[in-house]
Amino acid sequence: MGEMDLMSKGDLAQSVELAAEVLTKHLAGVPRLAVTLGSGWDELVDESRVESAVDFKDIPGFPIPTVEGHRGRVLKVITESGHILVQDGRIHCYEGLSSLEVSFPVFAYARCGVKALVMLSAAGGLNPLYIPGDLMIVRDHIFLFGDNPLEGLKLDGYPSVHVNLSGIYKTEWQEALKSALPSGVRCEHGVYAYVKGPTYETDAEAAFLRMAGADAVGMSSIPEAMCAAFLGLEVAMMCCISNTLLPSRALGLSHEEVLKVTRNRAQSIRGYLDSLAAQACALL
């Protein structure tokens, strides 16, 4: 089991139960805080602190990542403030999956008792003040393109799909993410625009998104954030600005460069998961 067929919304509840059973068994219990590591953020994982792990391929319903830098593991990690769940690698819609399929892990985590989801990702900078290596804590997002993961979802025991996403990224969680950073790290609060990918934006698209109010643009996380809000989880998100699109596009933009910049930044804040867990303890 592992690679799933295109999931019908009617099969979701049963698939969630199966995935939750496997996670609970392999991890010997699931912590309340889940952290998803996107492109380049795998450098935060200290393997000596991994207490237990399970591969995506062994979890019913979890798609298998096909993109470099996404190992596809769920880890139970020991921090100075207790255990946290870490998703080492994520899945993207541009890999041929629906928004619901890439968000499936969030449903499984919620069923296991997770109460908060923190997502770390890479993004292209639209704000002309940003430089590669900067961090941006998401205060709001723009989701105008792609399929909504909640579309057509009608499940017994689940809340209404008409979720109010205004204020989804609560101020106290934004501050928690920032307070966990070492002093001196460049970090801003901004708006993240979601695009499906896998192609990078044209000059006109980048200018359009900037005019719409976006400070950064990326190809992940927002479907998961929407599902987390639907499920009643606390949601927080931080991006590494891996490249800049405005005022001028950097030459040689590639996934390899995105990984390099983000990994360098992650290496510079090793120990962040410890600090983040400590901050989250005060909020959960």
Integer Cα distance of 12 and 153 in angstroms: 9
- Identify the burial level of 182 via C-beta atoms within 10 angstroms of its C-beta, where 0-12 means exposed, 13-18 middle and 19 or more buried: exposed
Residue 26 is among the residues annotated as catalytic for this protein: no
Residue 101 is among the residues annotated as catalytic for this protein: no
Indicate which residue of 4, 19, 70, 180 is catalytic: 70
Indicate which residue of 21, 207, 255, 278 is catalytic: 255
Residue 254 is among the residues annotated as catalytic for this protein: no
Question: What letter represents residue 4's amino acid?
Answer: M
The sign of the torsion formed by the CA atoms of 184, 188, 189, 193 equals negative
Residue 162 is among the residues annotated as catalytic for this protein: no
Residue 1 is among the residues annotated as catalytic for this protein: no
Indicate which residue of 20, 116, 122, 136 is catalytic: 122
Residue 220 is among the residues annotated as catalytic for this protein: yes
Adjacent-strand bridge partners of 75: 53, 86
Indicate which residue of 95, 175, 205, 257 is catalytic: 95
Indicate which residue of 243, 266, 275, 277 is catalytic: 243
Indicate which residue of 21, 26, 52, 94 is catalytic: 94
Indicate which residue of 116, 123, 219, 228 is catalytic: 219
Residue 39 is among the residues annotated as catalytic for this protein: yes
Residue 92 is among the residues annotated as catalytic for this protein: yes
Indicate which residue of 19, 20, 43, 92 is catalytic: 92
Residue 219 is among the residues annotated as catalytic for this protein: yes
Q: What is the DSSP string of the chain?
A: --SPPSPPGGGHHHHHHHHHHHHHHHHTS--SEEEEE-TTGGGG--GGGEEEEEEGGGSTTPPPP-STT---EEEEEEETTEEEEEEES---GGGT--HHHHHHHHHHHHHHT--EEEEEEEEEE-STT--TT-EEEEEEEEE-SS--TTTT---TT---S----TT-S-HHHHHHHHHTSPTT--EEEEEEEE---SSPPPHHHHHHHHHTT-SEEESSSHHHHHHHHHTT-EEEEEEEEEEE-SSSPPTT--HHHHHHHHHHHHHHTTTHHHHHHHHHHTT-
Indicate which residue of 220, 221, 242, 275 is catalytic: 220
- Report, as residue numbers or ranges, the catalytic residues: 39, 70, 92, 94-95, 122, 219-220, 243, 255
